[in-house]
Amino acid sequence: QLSDQQKMSESPLSWFRGVYLPAALHPLNKTLVKGDKWRDVDSTQEKRRSFLQDFCKKYNSRKKLRTHLMHLVSRIYVEDRHKVLYCEVPKAGCSNWKRVLMVLNGLAASAHNISHDDVHYGKHLRKLDSYDLKGIYTRLNTYTKAIFVRDPVERLVSAFRDKFEHPNSYYHPVFGKAIIKKYRHNANEEALKTGSGVRFKEFIQYLLDSQRPVGMDIHWEQVSKLCYPCLINYDFIGKFETLEEDANYFLQLVGAPAELKFPKFKDRHSSDERTSAEVVRQYLKELSKEERQLTYDFYYLDYLMFNYTPP
């Protein structure tokens, strides 16, 4: 019941103990779900929720909180009509999720007519950090909060293929040039000038380097640092591996129009084979045993939190 002024004058840690974080996970409101066909998806969902809750109690990362509130919620998209918060995890279906949010918000009639550029550069959706403190607290405590995740190394390989194996006017000059310059001995002038042709092994050397020549990027940042799953109690945990059924069940939960279904199409490079466990295996062959272990260690928390099997 603190006034906003009192909250502001106290240390951020005390807000988190009080207003900001519900102590226990809310039960999901399932009153809008129709039919028995969702029973298995619902049962899986409850297991994921309690698994993450138990993990967070054991890991107890609240003690380690040193992150500003606005940073904590900076990746969360808001859809006010259906009271949805969605934390964006790149390479885990996020483009199609943003399309769905635009349809829910009345900004588009169909998810199929929205271009990639419109999704990512159109600025149609608001993020949670654009609201004032009261607006953030209210939404965190009353909206349905969703996160969709993916096997961490599979997500990493998918990001590498997307950003470095296709022409890209941002990732090649910004990341590619720096990576080739630092990790490729005897690099030719063309590679140094364009930043194109980064090899997976070089990319992993950059990822694991504590003195990286360029910073991190959301496409390969750990989910634990993008969405803070032990600080924000997500009501719904979807997985890329069961994306369609998870997403369509979630749309039922929030009362989306019956005709709205999660899109099946691949957002870009649609002729490419999807990044699967078999594709990942081929890329991992390029690494030494030690590099493979260190890559797993880098995503260790994500593997644990979301109960993924180590590769």
Q: Tens digit of pLDDT for each residue in 216-232?
A: 999 999 999 999 998 89
- Do residues 104 and 260 make contact, with C-beta atoms less than 8 angstroms apart? yes
pLDDT band for position 18 (cuts 50, 70, 90) = very low
Of the pLDDT bands very low, low, confident and very high (cuts 50, 70, 90), residue 114 is confident
- Tell me the per-residue pLDDT of 32-69, one tens digit each, with 9 for 90 and over: 888 788 999 999 999 999 999 999 988 865 555 556 78
Task: Classify residue 58: in a domain, yes or no.
Answer: yes
pLDDT digits (tens, 9 = 90+) for 71-113: 899 999 999 999 999 999 999 999 999 999 999 998 887 887 7
pLDDT digits (tens, 9 = 90+) for 252-276: 999 999 999 998 876 666 667 889 9
In this structure, is residue 27 part of a structural domain?
Answer: no
| Residue 35 structure tokens | 């039919």
Tell which residue, 303, 166, 228, 289, has the closest CA to residue 16.
Answer: 228
Query: How confident is the model at residue 279, as a pLDDT?
Result: 94
pLDDT at 67: 64
Could you tell me the pTM of the whole model? 0.88
Structural domain containing residue 119: 38-152+221-275
Please compute the mean of the pLDDT values over residues 8-31 and round it to a whole number: 56
CB-based burial label for 208 (10 Å; 0-12, 13-18, 19+) = middle
Name which of 58, 54, 52 is nearest 146 in CA terms. Answer: 52
Residue 21 within a domain = no
Is residue 28 in some structural domain? no
Asked, for residue 67, whether it belongs to a domain, the answer is yes
Give percent of the chain above pLDDT 70: 87
Domain-embedded: residue 250: yes
Asked whether residue 202 is assigned to any structural domain, the reply reads no
Checking if the pLDDT of 21 tops 60, the result is: no
Q: What is the mean pLDDT of the chain?
A: 88
* Amino acid 164: pLDDT: 97
User: How many separate domains does the chain show?
Assistant: 1
